[in-house]
């Protein structure tokens, strides 16, 4: 990813390879017990040189900051040295998301996104405690994957249990719902791994954002730069906000100096994780109609469109919209189409027209969005390369006649033992693909797995589509990708739909995202309150309840926390930034992971803060467009100056008007 390196040896901090041990903890100032440089443990970006352009190290800190003499852990970091012979003395320290994603594992992508910032400053990346290279909370597969017996207790009606869990709504009996989740029980890996961590002497109470904040302060102190710029995305904003809270509550000139703070895709620690993912997509849908009303041309053609959309949803909830003898649109149908279109810049521009047409009984836009023929692809899907070319045509012919591997995979089986095993087991193509997909996912980076997690979370509203699978297969390592694309080449549309059905199984999703499930669970359990009554009270107050899909609500999370003995009852207030750091709060209008409302809430409580919302930008907006990257660079250059964010105007959506001819569907 690196195309050029201009390495400068201008030491702005003093650091030695030998261990440096502090004599004690200054009151209110977290300090590392020791620090040392080490060979970088991860694969470096192309062009970077270990120990020269990329300097790695570790600090040793107490597992329990209240007991410095007790068990210790390490926090591993990497400094991407500036491409400059005279860099600014204040580096940028990057706070990774997740929680559970390894910044060092993602170093190639991160240095690519931040290369402009690196022109003038060192950039520091680090793995939070319990993650990958920082005393990883790793549970061996042979323990994690043990089968956990499950029986429905006597007296519990299985049909009633299934009905309770499959029909969650705002009117659900919460006592019955909680009891149903308790019958299902916590995640198997948590049941298996909790005793293992206890046997290892690991104090899971110490793996939360508060401890991560102290680690970050200790790291800044150990590196000894004169001041720091904090840059955070997603969970990294939670981490950064808790660093700011510590500074507010423990003011001291001995703390490392902070020059500026940028938080992007904000989620405060006070957010109830049960409802977080529930609000993202509805917020985006409503945002599309709000954007139309803020546009003079769109609002003139679709006056009051936001309220009209709300009214239509309420009407369809009361009685499905009957278009003709063959077309009836129920609330779930409309919500699915709105949700699948709203999160994409090339399809949300049709939403005002969609509502306008449905009000008049027309379905041209609705049908095209539902069928996936809007927006029209720029080009047809590329033919996937097939490493088994000598037999692919034969296999395709056979696949058109029979849909099991046993019917036509013999020629392929000779070239791959896994295919042979699948042949013996009589797996269907979709079943075999799903198995290989899950196996390949065990080898991908944590951020790629996070993308998979988002895909699986939203799969209920994603129409079955071959290209969508191609996009996610491309996340897999090269060694696994070829077989997966070969299998996709063999599938017809019915097979693709079956793959989507398999991937929508919650147990399958759990398997794919397992690699950071444990660390993510432990951190959330230490941080957040999981109160179903509180969560539903918030959801019942949502402006448009018809947009809420509660099928994926995290009802088992509290049970997972109980397994680890981690129960949090305190909800901290929003951070106020009495320390006065210049803060830039960034949102993306298409961010379905950290809804805009969270960023607005945090901004409203911060002193000395500004907020920018980038139109048509997804989660991690500062890395999603040239405009946002330019503004980010300008902020870190001059954090106290007025920002020129005029480029945002060019990012606003241009909505499709009533009289515009729809593009023809692709052949």
User: Between 209 and 593, where is the model more confident?
Assistant: 209
Task: Specify the pLDDT at position 144.
Answer: 83
Residue 160's CB is within 10 A of a number of other CB atoms, namely 11
Task: Specify the pLDDT at position 276.
Answer: 65
Q: Which two tokens stand for residue 119?
A: 């022109």
Q: Which two tokens stand for residue 469?
A: 């699978």
Cα atoms found within 13 Å of the Cα of residue 386, Cβ hemisphere only: 17
**pLDDT > 60? residue 17:** no
Task: Specify the pLDDT at position 187.
Answer: 82
Q: Which two tokens stand for residue 653?
A: 């959506």
Task: Specify the pLDDT at position 478.
Answer: 62
Task: Specify the pLDDT at position 463.
Answer: 80
Encode pLDDT of 359-386 as tens digits. Answer: 999 999 999 999 888 886 544 333 333 3
User: Between 358 and 491, where is the model more confident?
Assistant: 358
Could you tell me the residue ranges of all domains in the chain? 1-111+122-137, 142-151+160-201+518-564, 274-371, 389-512
Q: For residue 85, what is the DSSP state? A: S
* Element at 321 (helix H, strand E): strand 321-322
d(CA 95, CA 213): 10
Encode pLDDT of 30-77 as tens digits. Answer: 999 999 999 999 989 989 999 999 999 999 999 999 999 999 999 999
Task: Specify the pLDDT at position 189.
Answer: 85
Segment 615-641 mean pLDDT: 96
Task: Specify the pLDDT at position 530.
Answer: 86
The dihedrals phi and psi of 352, each to the nearest 5 degrees, come to: -60, -40
d(CA 349, CA 369): 11
d(CA 583, CA 635): 9
Task: Specify the pLDDT at position 304.
Answer: 99
**pLDDT > 90? residue 603:** yes
Mean pLDDT, the chain, integer:
85
Mean pLDDT lowest among 483-497, 507-521, 540-554, 558-572: 507-521
**pLDDT > 90? residue 667:** no
Instruction: Give me the sign of the Cα torsion angle 254, 256, 259, 265.
Output: negative
Task: Specify the pLDDT at position 457.
Answer: 61
Residue 445 pLDDT grade (very low, low, confident, very high; cuts 50, 70, 90):
low
**pLDDT > 80? residue 15:** no
**pLDDT > 90? residue 523:** yes
**pLDDT > 90? residue 300:** yes
* Element at 610 (helix H, strand E): strand 609-614
Task: Specify the pLDDT at position 461.
Answer: 62
Residue 479 pLDDT grade (very low, low, confident, very high; cuts 50, 70, 90):
low
Task: Specify the pLDDT at position 387.
Answer: 32
Segment 516-535 mean pLDDT: 88
Encode pLDDT of 241-274 as tens digits. Answer: 999 999 999 999 999 999 999 999 999 998 876 7
d(CA 429, CA 406): 9
Q: For the chain, what percent of residues have pLDDT higher than 70?
A: 83
Segment 119-128 mean pLDDT: 98
Residue 296 pLDDT grade (very low, low, confident, very high; cuts 50, 70, 90):
very high
Segment 116-134 mean pLDDT: 97
**pLDDT > 50? residue 506:** yes
Q: Which value, in Å, is the radius of gyration of the alpha carbons in the chain? A: 26
SS3 for 198-248 is HHCCCCHHHCCHHHHHHHHHHHHHHHCCCCEEEEEECHHHHHHHHHHHHHH
Cα 398 to Cα 369, 411, 421, 483, distances in angstroms: 33, 11, 19, 18
Q: Which two tokens stand for residue 479?
A: 């060694």
Mean pLDDT lowest among 101-110, 174-183, 187-196, 378-387: 378-387
* Element at 535 (helix H, strand E): helix 532-540
Q: What string of DSSP letters covers 249-305?
A: HS--TTSPPEEEEEEES---TTS-HHHHHHHHHHHHHHHHHHHHHTSHHHHHHSTTH
User: Between 343 and 580, where is the model more confident?
Assistant: 580
Residue 223 pLDDT grade (very low, low, confident, very high; cuts 50, 70, 90):
very high
- Nearest residue to 223 (alpha-carbon basis) of 82, 12, 10: 12
**CB environment 4-33: b (16+ within 10 A), e (fewer):** eeeeeeeebeeeeeeebebeebeeebbbbb
Contact yes or no for 586/262 (Cβ under 8 A): yes
Q: Exposed/middle/buried for 410, CB within 10 Å: 0-12, 13-18, 19+?
A: middle
Task: Specify the pLDDT at position 345.
Answer: 92
Instruction: Give me the sign of the Cα torsion angle 620, 626, 629, 630.
Output: negative
Residue 29 pLDDT grade (very low, low, confident, very high; cuts 50, 70, 90):
very high
d(CA 177, CA 165): 7
d(CA 490, CA 477): 20
Task: Specify the pLDDT at position 100.
Answer: 85
Cα atoms found within 13 Å of the Cα of residue 218, Cβ hemisphere only: 33
């Amino acid at each position: 990813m690196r195309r050029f390196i201009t390495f400068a040896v201008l030491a702005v901090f003093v650091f030695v390879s030998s261990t440096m041990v502090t004599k004690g903890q200054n009151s209110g100032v977290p300090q590392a017990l020791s620090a040392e440089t080490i060979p970088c443990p991860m694969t470096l970006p192309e062009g970077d040189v270990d120990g020269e352009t990329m300097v790695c190290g570790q600090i040793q800190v107490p597992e329990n900051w209240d007991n410095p003499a007790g068990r210790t852990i390490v926090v591993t970091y990497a400094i991407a040295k500036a491409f400059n012979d005279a860099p600014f003395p204040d580096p940028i320290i990057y706070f990774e998301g997740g929680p559970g994603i390894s910044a060092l594992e993602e170093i190639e992508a991160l240095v690519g996104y931040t290369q402009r910032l690196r022109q003038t400053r060192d950039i520091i990346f680090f793995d939070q405690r319990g993650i990958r290279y920082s005393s990883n909370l790793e549970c061996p597969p042979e323990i994690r994957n043990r089968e956990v017996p499950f029986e429905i207790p006597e007296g519990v009606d299985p049909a009633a249990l299934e009905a309770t869990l499959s029909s969650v709504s705002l009117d659900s009996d919460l006592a019955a719902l909680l009891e149903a989740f308790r019958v299902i029980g916590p995640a198997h890996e948590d049941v298996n791994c909790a005793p293992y961590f206890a046997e290892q002497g690991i104090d899971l109470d110490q793996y939360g954002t508060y401890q991560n904040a102290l680690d970050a302060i200790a790291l800044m102190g150990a590196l000894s730069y004169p001041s720091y710029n904090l840059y955070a995305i997603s969970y990294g904003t939670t981490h950064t906000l808790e660093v700011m809270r510590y500074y507010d509550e423990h003011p001291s000139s001995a703390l490392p100096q902070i020059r500026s703070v940028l938080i992007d895709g904000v989620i405060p620690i006070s957010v109830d994780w049960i409802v977080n993912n529930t609000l993202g997509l509805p917020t985006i849908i409503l945002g599309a109609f709000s954007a139309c009303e803020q546009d003079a041309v769109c609002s003139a053609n679709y006056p009051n469109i936001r309220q009209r959309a709300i009214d239509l949803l309420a009407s369809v909830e009361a009685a499905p919209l009957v278009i003709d003898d063959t077309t009836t649109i129920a609330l779930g149908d409309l919500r699915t189409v709105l949700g699948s279109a709203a999160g994409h810049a090339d399809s949300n521009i049709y939403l005002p027209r969609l509502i306008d047409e449905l009000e008049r009984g027309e379905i041209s836009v609705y049908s095209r969005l539902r069928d996936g023929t809007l927006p029209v692809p720029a080009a047809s899907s590329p033919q996937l390369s097939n490493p088994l070319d000598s037999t692919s045509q034969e296999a395709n012919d056979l696949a058109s006649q029979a849909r099991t591997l046993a019917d036509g995979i013999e020629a392929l089986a000779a070239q791959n033992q896994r295919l042979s095993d699948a042949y013996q087991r009589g797996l269907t193509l979709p079943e075999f693909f799903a198995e290989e997909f899950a196996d390949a996912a065990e080898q991908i980076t944590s951020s790629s797995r996070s993308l998979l997690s988002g895909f699986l979370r939203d799969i209920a509203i994603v129409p079955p589509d071959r290209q969508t699978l191609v996009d996610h297969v491309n996340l897999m390592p090269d060694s696994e990708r070829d077989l997966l694309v070969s299998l996709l080449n063999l599938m017809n549309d019915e097979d693709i739909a079956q793959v989507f059905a398999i991937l929508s199984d919650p147990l399958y999703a759990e398997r794919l995202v397992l690699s950071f499930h444990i660390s993510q669970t432990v951190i959330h359990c230490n941080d957040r309150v999981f109160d179903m009554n509180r969560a539903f009270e918030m959801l019942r107050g949502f402006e448009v309840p018809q947009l809420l899909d509660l099928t994926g609500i995290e009802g088992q999370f509290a049970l997972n926390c109980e397994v680890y003995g981690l129960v949090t009852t305190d909800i901290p207030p929003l951070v106020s930034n009495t320390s006065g750091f210049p803060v830039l709060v960034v949102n993306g209008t298409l961010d379905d992971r950290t809804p805009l409302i969270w960023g607005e809430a945090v901004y409203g409580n911060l002193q000395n803060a500004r907020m920018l919302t980038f139109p048509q930008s997804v989660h991690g907006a500062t890395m999603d467009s040239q405009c946002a990257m330019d503004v980010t660079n300008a902020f870190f250059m001059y954090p106290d100056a007025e920002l020129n964010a005029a480029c945002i105007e060019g990012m606003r959506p241009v909505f499709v008007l009533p009289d515009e001819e729809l593009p023809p569907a692709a052949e």
